[in-house]
Amino acid sequence: MQNKIIKKTEEYVKSRLSGEGSGHDWWHVYRVWQSAIHIGKHESVDMKVVELAALLHDIADWKFNDGDIEAGPKMAREWLEKNKVDEITISQVTEIVRNISFKGAGVKTQMKTKEGMVVQDADRLDATGAIGIGRCFAYGGYKGREMYNPKIKPEYHGSFEKYKKSNGTSINHFYEKMLLLKDLMNTKTGKKLAKERHKFMEKFLKEFYNEWAGKK
Question: Tens digits of per-residue pLDDT, 140-194?
Answer: 999 899 999 999 999 988 887 888 778 889 999 999 999 999 999 999 999 999 9
Contact indicator for 82, 14 with CB cutoff of 8 Å: no
Please determine, for residue 139, whether its predicted confidence score (pLDDT) is greater than 80: yes
CA 78 to mean position of chain CA atoms? 22
pLDDT of residue 67: 61
How open is the CA angle 19-176-99, to the nearest 5 degrees?
A: 65
In a domain, 177, yes or no: yes
**For 186-209, what is the mean pLDDT?**
97
| pLDDT, averaged across the chain | 92
Please determine, for residue 201, whether its predicted confidence score (pLDDT) is greater than 80: yes
Please determine, for residue 1, whether its predicted confidence score (pLDDT) is greater than 60: no
103 against 76, higher pLDDT: 76
Calpha distance 21→188 (Å, rounded):
32
pLDDT of residue 61: 75
pLDDT of residue 44: 92
pLDDT of residue 20: 86
pLDDT of residue 161: 80
Residue 152 belongs to a domain with what CATH number? 1.10.3210.50
**For 18-41, what is the mean pLDDT?**
93
In a domain, 88, yes or no: yes
In a domain, 215, yes or no: no
pLDDT of residue 65: 62
pLDDT of residue 108: 78
In a domain, 189, yes or no: yes
Please determine, for residue 64, whether its predicted confidence score (pLDDT) is greater than 70: no
In a domain, 174, yes or no: yes
In a domain, 214, yes or no: no
> What is the domain range of residue 17?
2-209
Please determine, for residue 57, whether its predicted confidence score (pLDDT) is greater than 90: yes
pLDDT of residue 22: 83
> In the chain, how many domains are there?
1
Calpha distance 136→176 (Å, rounded):
12
From 163, 148, 56, select the one nearest 105 (Cα to Cα).
163
In a domain, 63, yes or no: yes
In a domain, 176, yes or no: yes
From 32, 39, 46, select the one nearest 187 (Cα to Cα).
39
pLDDT of residue 91: 97
- Residues of the chain above pLDDT 90, percent: 76
